[in-house]
Amino acid sequence: AVLSAASGARLREVMHTGVALHSALAAEQGLPPAHVRPADLLSALVDRLRAWRVEVVQACLEGSAATACLCPEPRLDYSDLDLVVYLAEDAPPGQLDLVRDAVISVLSDLVPSAHRACASMYIHKMFLNSSTDGDSWALFTCAAVGGPAIDIKCVQRCRRPYQFTMDSLYVRLDGALPALEDHVLTADAVSGAHSGSLGDALAHIRGRTIAIGAPEELATVHGGGLLKYATLLSRGYRLAPWLPQQRIEAIMCARFHVDFPEHGLSRYGTPALLQRVCDYIAAHMPGPAGLTRAHAFVRTLRGIVARAWPDTAAPVLAMLSVLLPPPQRAPLAPRQAGHEFVKRRRSGVSLAVPGAIAA
C-alpha cells in the first residue's frame, strides 16, 4: 500500500531525527555518544553491502517504529527502531561475518572521527544466527541516550520475521534509498504486513489487541516472543479473546527457555536467562525514566512464568526477583542485577530478595 500523507510525514520524522548511540561499554571507555540519523545509517549500510558484493533484496523499517508511522493517529511511541536489510537467500557461507564487518565499518564512518577505531563498542548486543533449522540472520542492537534503540537486522532466511500481528508491519524503503530527501521518502516508500493482512494488523493495534494466527507459530520465534508479550501486557494490551492464553504462554516460556537456558551462562558469567532480560530492559527501558516501566514489565513477566510453569517456576521467579529490589534500596541497573545474582549465588545467600515486589 502507498503511504498516506500523514504516514509519510511521520516516516520522515522517524528516519530523519538524530539518535544518540551509546552503550554501557562505550560509556565505560569514556566515549561520547555518536549522533546518527537512521536514514543515513540504513543508506550507508546498503551501499557498503553492495560495494562488498553482498546482494541486497530490499530494505525496510519494521517493528514499533513502522507501527508508529502507519498509525500516525493516535500518535504512538516506539522504544526501538528496526532497520532490516533482506539479503539473497542463496548467499554463500560466511556472509553473515561479512555483514558484521560491514555494520562495524559503517558505524566507524558515522561516529566521531577521534573514536572510529572503537566503533564496535557502540554495539550493545551482537547476535549471528545460522542454525540448522534453516534460519540465517544477524542482529546488532545499538542502545541510545534518551531515545529509541536501533536494531540493525540483516536477514538471509527467517521462517517468521515477526512475533504478533501488530509488529508484523513494515515500510519498504529500498526505492527511497538512492536519495533520502523528504519527497523521495514519501513517494517511494510502501507498506505491508508480514502477517498477510495490513488491515487486520492495523485493527489489532488500534484495539490494543495481541493476536497471532496459531499458537504453534511462536515456537519458531527466537525467544518465543515472551519478552515482547510481557511488555505489551504491562502497557495495557490484552490477548485476543479467541486465543488460548495458558497454551500460548506455555509455548512462549518453553521456547524462551530453550534459547536462554536457566543454567547456561552469558558472556558476563551471569545466567543466560537473567542476562537476556537485563539486556532487553537496557535496550527498551533505559535510564531512570524507564524504571517504572521496567518494574511493571518484570512483575508481568514473573506472572506469566508462574502461570506457565506452576510446579517448576520457583528458580526462575527467584532469579527475576533480583530485578525487583526492596523500596529502601536504590534500584539496580540491568548489568548490576546480573552481577548481584552471581554474588549472592557464590555467597550462598538465598535468591529471594526480602521485601521484593510480588508478581
**DSSP structure string for 330-359:** PPPPHHHHHHHHHHHHHHT--SSPTTPPP-
CB-CB contact of 212 with 248 (8 Å): yes
Cα distance between residue 266 and residue 31, in whole Å:
25
CA 177 → CA 37, 53, 128, distances in Å?
Answer: 13, 17, 25
pLDDT at 98: 92
Residue 82 has pLDDT above 90, yes or no: yes
Q: What value does the mean pLDDT of the chain take?
A: 81
Closest CA to 73 of 10, 17, 126, 167: 10
Residue 343 has pLDDT above 80, yes or no: no
Q: Which residue has the higher pLDDT, 92 or 31?
A: 31
Q: Using one digit for the tens of pLDDT, what is the confidence trace for 274-322?
A: 888 988 888 778 777 788 889 999 999 999 999 998 888 888 888 888 8
Q: Using one digit for the tens of pLDDT, what is the confidence trace for 195-236?
A: 878 888 888 988 999 998 888 888 888 888 999 999 999 999
Q: Say whether 57 sits in a helix, a strand or coil.
A: strand
> Any alpha helices (H) in the chain, and if so which ranges?
5-16, 24-28, 38-51, 63-70, 95-110, 182-188, 198-206, 226-234, 245-259, 272-284, 291-308, 314-321, 334-347
Cβ count near 279 (within 10 Å) = 20
Q: Using one digit for the tens of pLDDT, what is the confidence trace for 146-204?
A: 778 899 999 998 877 888 888 888 998 866 554 444 544 554 567 788 887 888 888 89
Provide the phi-psi class of 208: left if phi over 0, else alpha when psi is between -120 and 50, else beta: left
Q: Which residue has the higher pLDDT, 244 or 288?
A: 244
Cell of 9: 510525514
pLDDT tier for residue 325 given thresholds of 50, 70 and 90: low
Closest CA to 1 of 183, 169, 210, 181: 169
Mean per-residue pLDDT, 32-43: 90
Residue 334 has pLDDT above 70, yes or no: no
Peptide bond preceding 93: is omega within 30 degrees of 0, i.e. cis?
no
> Any alpha helices (H) in 93-197, and if so which ranges?
95-110, 182-188
Cβ count near 26 (within 10 Å) = 24
Cα distance between residue 290 and residue 287, in whole Å:
6
CB-CB contact of 307 with 246 (8 Å): yes
Cα distance between residue 174 and residue 194, in whole Å:
17
pLDDT at 326: 63
**How many separate helices (H) and strands (E) can be counted in the chain?**
13, 11
pLDDT at 229: 95
CB-CB contact of 323 with 337 (8 Å): yes
pLDDT at 110: 85
pLDDT tier for residue 112 given thresholds of 50, 70 and 90: confident
Cα distance between residue 293 and residue 299, in whole Å:
10
Q: What percent of the chain has pLDDT over 90?
A: 29
Cell of 55: 546482494
